Amino acid sequence: MTLDIALVLAIALGAVVLFATEKLRMDAVALLVLGSLALLGLVSTNEAVSGFSSHATITVAAMFVLAAGLQNSGALAGIGWLFSRVKSPTLFLLTLFGVLAVVAPFVNNTAVVAVFLPIVMTATAANGMAPSKALIPLSYVSQMAGVCTLVGTSTNLLVNSIARDLGHPGFGLFEFTSLGVICFAAGSLYLLTVGRWLLPEIRSEGLVEDYQLGKYITELRVMSESSLIGTSVGESKLGEKFGVFVLELLRGEQKVWSPRAQVLQEGDVLLARGDWSRLDELRKKAGLEIDPEFKLKARQFREVDQVLTEVMVAPASRVVGSTLATLDRRWHHDATVLAIHRRGQILREKIKDVSLDVGDILLMLTPEREMPALRADPNLIVLTEREAERPRGWRAPFALATMVVVITVAALGWAPIVITSLMGALAMVLAGCLDADEAYESVDWRIIILLAALMPLGIAMTGTGAAAFLVDNTLGLVAGFGPWVVLAVLYLLALLLTEFMSNAAAAVLLTPLGMSTATMLGVDATPFLIAVTFAASTSFTTPVGYQTNTMVYSAGGYRFMDFVKVGLPLNLIFWVLGVLLIPRFWPF
């Protein structure tokens, strides 16, 4: 092992640990990797910044804009109407899968789920189906459909770009379609039969009408007329009477020790957790008030035109990492945040001091006139019931036609996808499907930085011999059993890595290994690259393995083990199909 190999492997290992532990943002980790490689001389300056001019990076950015144009123009509004007409749960799932099969191969998975999530929740409320029976399938099927084309996921484009840099001819737009369709059909059949039986049925009373998303944390201030004054939290038995649990007692700016034993005083603030209907019942009966100190640009707490609504913090949202206390400077909506829900955690900070994360659900009071702007905000996903937005005249069919032209021209080989997607994005802006500011806001810049900054790691792993070293000491141990067994092990390794770290990071680490494995065995690299692509683009076993899983994890009220029970068999189905069929379609 040379010093360069040791340094590259140390950087790669450090990146894996940071991605898995989430101690730093993923884009920050990627930039650390890039800087370390450049400063240590493991890549040249041109190689270090080559990812920012990569076809994959530019195409992904353009596809974000195209997806936003489709959404903003109202081109997908008819889907809500279609779902509302389907009353049978089985037929609803079939319809959902069919629509996703058409949309998801050409639109980023995260954008697809962001658009479909409130539509699906509304539709399930109307047909009597538990949302938990549809939301995990929504995430999984969007991933299964996305892997059918080169542009379906950013991971596909990333593997293609790195492979080209390493000397592989690359893949066509529909290179993955044959295997992708078979896997999609098998996965859909599983979700409609065994998977549907494994999915939990989670029903609860609604905040607006028919559903509620979980237990909220809010702050209740003890008013002068409160019946709780002079009694302790323990004596008032709030848990038994209202199902409300006091987590902390705040007196001034201090948390009071042993809150259950403290005698309550006027002005005390209870940090309480429970269903919103019960919290509101306690507020009315005990003379409490929602503590209004975390208003966001709300001029009055009570207004006749205000609507109670739930919004989820979206992936790539600008509010991630912000607290409600600091958010006011970047908040563009007239709204009051009443409570917050975070799946799997009990928050013990004051509401205004909670750092927001992807999947957090905010219960807000907002004027009805503000709802259109709230629904259009890419940083948030409105989860409450709503009517499908009507298409804005000619722009809806124009947006659809633009996407069709972008894909068709690239598929026919008349122009590269990077050029057609850029021209399509420009056409969306010029046509008014979205304005220039919205175009910039629609791009998930963290993903762009992640893709661009990690590409030099693939170059360094190949250039220094680190990839070959890893292959010799891992996959090389099973090389004697033939390329089929090596392919199975590589696919399984990619599956495991993808469940606990960024899909892009797993792809960057494993694409050079796939190339080196082919060199070691003296066979074509294409089957190994296909295995990496499919494994890194389909993550079903954990709610943190893919952004769409995280989104439905919060909205559906799932437990971590729900993903393991439903997703692990699906991952194994994909693994078996991949190992059996990849060499058939792409011989060694």
The label of the residue with tokens 């057609």 reads 420
Q: What is the pLDDT of residues 179-217, one digit of tens each?
A: 999 999 999 999 999 999 999 887 544 333 333 334 667
Could you tell me the two tokens for 150? Answer: 């080169």
Q: Is the confidence at residue 499, as pLDDT, over 50?
A: yes
Q: Is the confidence at residue 445, as pLDDT, over 90?
A: no
Mean pLDDT computed over 479-494: 89
Q: What is the pLDDT of residues 282-306, one digit of tens each?
A: 888 888 877 644 444 444 444 445 6
- How many residues does this entry show for the chain? 588
Give the model's pLDDT for residue 300: 42
* HSE (side-chain half, CA atoms, 13 Å) at 110: 29
Question: What are the residues whose beta carbons fall under 8 Å from the beta carbon of 395, sequence distance 6 or more?
Answer: 73, 74, 75, 431, 432, 433
- Asked if residue 452 lies in contact with residue 57, where contact means CB atoms within 8 angstroms, the answer is yes
Position 76, amino acid: L
pTM above 0.85, yes or no: no
Domains by residue range for the chain, with CATH: 3-201+400-585 (no CATH), 216-382 (3.30.70.1450)
Provide the CA 489 distance to its chain's centre, in angstroms.
27
* Phi–psi pair at 308, nearest 5 degrees: -80, 120
- Asked if residue 152 lies in contact with residue 109, where contact means CB atoms within 8 angstroms, the answer is yes
- Rounded to whole angstroms, the Cα distance separating 431 from 396 reads 10
- Rounded to whole angstroms, the Cα distance separating 160 from 193 reads 34
- Rounded to whole angstroms, the Cα distance separating 200 from 188 reads 17
Question: How many other CB atoms sit within 10 Å of the CB of residue 39?
Answer: 9
Q: Is the confidence at residue 12, as pLDDT, over 50?
A: yes
Q: What is the CA radius of gyration of the chain?
A: 25
Mean pLDDT computed over 81-99: 85
- Rounded to whole angstroms, the Cα distance separating 120 from 116 reads 6
